[in-house]
Structure 1
């Protein structure tokens, strides 16, 4: 009887173990949990992981984290690393053993950004101070203090040795960047531009700076040794925002509205004297052909009887406005960030409507399997600009030759506004009335751009990673110009007008 009872007890114990594999598995695994804080406040979005095993987790909004690891994967102490952007990382040595281990961290602010992580020119994320070459980094915290209209503008005054200058004052134009000064007399001096892993040959004026997570810059010969001859003038790599920086389960909504005005800051004083003879009534003395007669000494010491504020007529105080919204979210196995921006810059040129741009961006990360993840992104931007025609004899070029006694607001003989026939002989034939040109000539610049990225990463083993990516960046620009029938030139001649269109893809 006792023998039968012992068999029943043994069979029951075996059955319980078979029905409870989780309990047996829990005894064979190690759960690492804890909380990350800074100045006593929870620090969400902190990455906690074991460096040697490529395993870990991200803290939630309360700063808590937890992940399970098999102790058999390591026979010696391993490093548990806690890292968050803008904070000094902490590395702690632990020994893996079955059961539960609580590891709490208190991170300190990295005021000097000595522990900034960069990826440009290295195979994996590396601390900036550990790279064998100089990598300058500008993060979103610096950019959002004073966002520029383009990514390159965000580098102005923030990267040593980088010169950022405006090509022209036209709204929507991208600035020019030079790293460590000019490098060639005849060749290109532009650095290699990389946006989310895509080498870009198009203008960065289509991308808004609010979408940027960080910018990394490599200057000098190091860039060429890492990226080839295309990077002889340096490398500028731009990373746009993703949801990976958020805490687990966190949703972030950003709304930004900006309004301001642009003005003509400085002007060169005009010359209000002329070298022509004048009559007793103060009018110009003219010869038989109606031309003004110069003084024998040809010295400009005679004052114009009447002068006008031509720069005040041509330029104005132009308003600009930017509306931006972004939504980001991070879940257990996915994260995304989507944004939309509307930007309008009236410009300072009177009568022109300026520049208008709309951008949409979407970045998505997915963990399809513990060993397989996917990153994808899409960007579409369109812009329209009422461009000023600054070709020879027009707009600003002609404004430089105007004499101060010409009234640009005077009507033409046919009653239309802004006097066109303003040439005074003898004088340069390049003179023109910009106001008349802008009110009659339509010069439009339309741009469209689409960018797509896809990256797949597969890790079959701890020491082996396969990575495949494809990128697409395509833009088009259409320049349209319409000169109406009856257009009056600066000498009073009437043209038949013309229509032209130039498409660049």
Structure 2
């Protein structure tokens, strides 16, 4: 007996009407059921509705309204849902929508977003319009600035506004996900600088670092020294034009970082403070005692469980005989401990950031003075990053034809402390304790050459880096209209001190060392720029001559074999074996560059370098 040809009731889609023949048959079925099983089963008052919704497949092509050329990589999203697709290299797309009321949203960088309701259309072609505000934006290019609409190379300005309030200690973290083709890696230490790659790897064994240009001057210091709050903009040069301007050192791309300046108006005082907590976004905690022992049982499943199904525990299985001898007592029994090495070596991470700035200006002078105090404690004990910094950016119009400015900062970074190896922490057994009965750290908990990862707590580590940067510049308007001259004199000075001692180093004989690194470079750029407009023709010529000189010196003194290491690295002569090494280098280079930009009616562009 079965039901057929039931049609939904118009008033209620969750109930069905029955044909007249079923009105007669159903009482007979009920009576028959009563006779056979002695009870009546109630029939459902309604039958489940049948979902007759048919999804709609929409296809189309997205083009530029002005050139009619297809646009690859356009994001198409169903509004108020998470369904997303992108156009292929030919600008074509295909997406499945739930109904005719669905709305598609088309988005692409540099274009105005568009929305389109599906209706009864199966093919929807879209022409995106360039965003005028985006095209009028001025971006920094090598040794100059241009309107984005006039740029012929691949230059992208990172969107920092959405991330300025995020708790970060490194400006590289602000760039994650802001620029297509810019890859920002991960870090494993507080305050560390992630790897930065532009358009993938360009060399197998050579230098893979991007070139950093800070306020027009090459910067070889660490990005950890730069206060993110002091940055106004970051532009990324991604194509061969970067190499044409900066040479082979820009083969991996260029980051052009511009610091903030004061603006005309009354003196403005800004202060901000924030505190954030950090924790891993995945559960990294290793197994506890019972999980650890169960894992051993599974490794010896053919002995720990009874055949043939191997699901029932074997009461004769001797678990203690399968573990390392260091996990058994003198009688051969398992030690009773359930120690969490993870909890002992980790904590809740935090970021504390304090910013203070004073800025203002008039028609003749503008200024920005700022200070910052940042502290980042990683989730592994002893992983600590601290930074103090000051900045002074001052610009004055000395005359109608001369502008003089200073861009400078000092940054003092402290990364003292040695954290335990996280990999070793996770490999330690919960049955073994790191401390002996007297509360002292065990050197070899497994009674092998595997040392206790918590021994790093005993290190006396002093790790500081002091960065100093100053760029003095002058802009001169020459008598010939459209001709300007600019000179940059940039200086980078860095002092690194790394002192450490640990009684457990050098095969437990103790070792101490002192390292000093001093780095200095200067840059002189002479820049001549000429701009001429003739009707719809716009010419800009740039001539550059510059020189850079760098020097670095390194010294390390260390000793081992200490009978007493109380004074550590401040008394290296107490070591039996004493050593000293040093090295230094100096390099200089000069460079020339000529560039011409031609623009006809903002339609035809040419750049030659």
Residues 380 and 419, structure 2, Cα contact 8 Å, conserved in 1? no
Displacement of 1:389 in angstroms is: 5.6
- Compared CA separation, residues 315 and 111, structure 1 to 2 (3 A): farther
Per-residue CA deviations over 1:357-405 (Å, capped at 9, x if unaligned) read 1010000001111011101122101011134266xxxx33533542332
Which is greater in Rg? 2
Alignment map for 1:236-247 (pairs within 5 Å): 236-243=255-262, 246=263
Per-residue CA deviations over 1:24-82 (Å, capped at 9, x if unaligned) read xxxxxxxxxxxxxxxxxxxxxxxxxxxxxxxxxxxxxxxxxxxxxxxxxxxxxxxxxxx
Report the Cα distance in structure 2 between the residues aligned to 1:444 and 1:180, rounded to whole angstroms: 38
Report the Cα distance in structure 2 between the residues aligned to 1:399 and 1:286, rounded to whole angstroms: 19
Give the corresponding residue for 1:311: 342
Displacement of 1:156 in angstroms is: 0.8
TM-score (normalizing by structure 1): 0.65
Give the corresponding residue for 2:358: 327
Q: Is there any run of 5+ residues in structure 2 with no aligned partner, and where? A: 1-130, 305-315, 329-333, 519-609
| 1:419 lines up with 2:449 in the alignment | no
Residue from 172, 175, 185 that aligns with 2:194 = 175
Give the corresponding residue for 2:80: none
Displacement of 1:241 in angstroms is: 0.5
Give the corresponding residue for 2:397: 367
Residue from 177, 188, 193 that aligns with 2:212 = 193
Displacement of 1:480 in angstroms is: 1.4
| 1:455 lines up with 2:468 in the alignment | no
Give the corresponding residue for 2:137: 116
Q: Is there any run of 5+ residues in structure 1 with no aligned partner, and where? A: 1-109, 294-302
Alignment map for 1:141-290 (pairs within 5 Å): 141-146=161-166, 148-166=168-186, 168-243=187-262, 246=263, 248-266=264-282, 267=284, 269-270=286-287, 272=292, 273-274=295-296, 282-284=319-321
Q: In terms of mean alpha carbon deviation, does 318-327 or 139-148 score higher?
A: 139-148
Report the Cα distance in structure 2 between the residues aligned to 1:181 and 1:133, rounded to whole angstroms: 18
Displacement of 1:191 in angstroms is: 1.1
Residues 223 and 234, structure 1, Cα contact 8 Å, conserved in 2? yes
Displacement of 1:306 in angstroms is: 5.2
- Compared CA separation, residues 396 and 139, structure 1 to 2 (3 A): closer
Residue from 382, 386, 392 that aligns with 2:412 = 382
Report the Cα distance in structure 2 between the residues aligned to 1:142 and 1:318, rounded to whole angstroms: 23
Report the Cα distance in structure 1 between the residues aligned to 2:133 and 2:321, rounded to whole angstroms: 68
Residues 359 and 381, structure 1, Cα contact 8 Å, conserved in 2? yes
Per-residue CA deviations over 1:317-346 (Å, capped at 9, x if unaligned) read 022200001111111200010110000112
Residues 416 and 463, structure 2, Cα contact 8 Å, conserved in 1? yes
TM-score (normalizing by structure 2): 0.55
Per-residue CA deviations over 1:437-471 (Å, capped at 9, x if unaligned) read 21x11223211000010111111222321211100
| 1:498 lines up with 2:521 in the alignment | no
Residue from 402, 412, 425 that aligns with 1:399 = 425
| Cα RMSD after superposing both structures | 3.1
Per-residue CA deviations over 1:231-281 (Å, capped at 9, x if unaligned) read 1111101000111xx2x3332222111101111332275472346999977
- Could you say which structure has the greater relative contact order, defined with CA pairs below 8 angstroms and 6 or more residues apart? 1
Residues 378 and 451, structure 1, Cα contact 8 Å, conserved in 2? yes
Displacement of 1:424 in angstroms is: 4.5
Alignment map for 1:37-186 (pairs within 5 Å): 113-121=134-142, 123=144, 125-138=145-158, 141-146=161-166, 148-166=168-186, 168-186=187-205
Residues 421 and 488, structure 1, Cα contact 8 Å, conserved in 2? no
Report the Cα distance in structure 2 between the residues aligned to 1:213 and 1:332, rounded to whole angstroms: 21
Report the Cα distance in structure 2 between the residues aligned to 1:282 and 1:434, rounded to whole angstroms: 27
Residues 195 and 239, structure 1, Cα contact 8 Å, conserved in 2? yes
Residue from 340, 344, 365 that aligns with 2:375 = 344
Residues 155 and 164, structure 1, Cα contact 8 Å, conserved in 2? yes
Residue from 433, 436, 458 that aligns with 2:455 = 436
Displacement of 1:154 in angstroms is: 1.4
The DSSP-based 3-state class of the residue aligned with 1:422 is: coil
Give the corresponding residue for 1:75: none
Displacement of 1:434 in angstroms is: 2.7
Number of positions where the alignment pairs a residue of Structure 1 with one of Structure 2: 362
- Compared CA separation, residues 152 and 111, structure 1 to 2 (3 A): farther
The DSSP-based 3-state class of the residue aligned with 1:222 is: helix
Report the Cα distance in structure 2 between the residues aligned to 1:122 and 1:386, rounded to whole angstroms: 38
Residues 307 and 405, structure 1, Cα contact 8 Å, conserved in 2? yes
Report the Cα distance in structure 2 between the residues aligned to 1:207 and 1:285, rounded to whole angstroms: 54
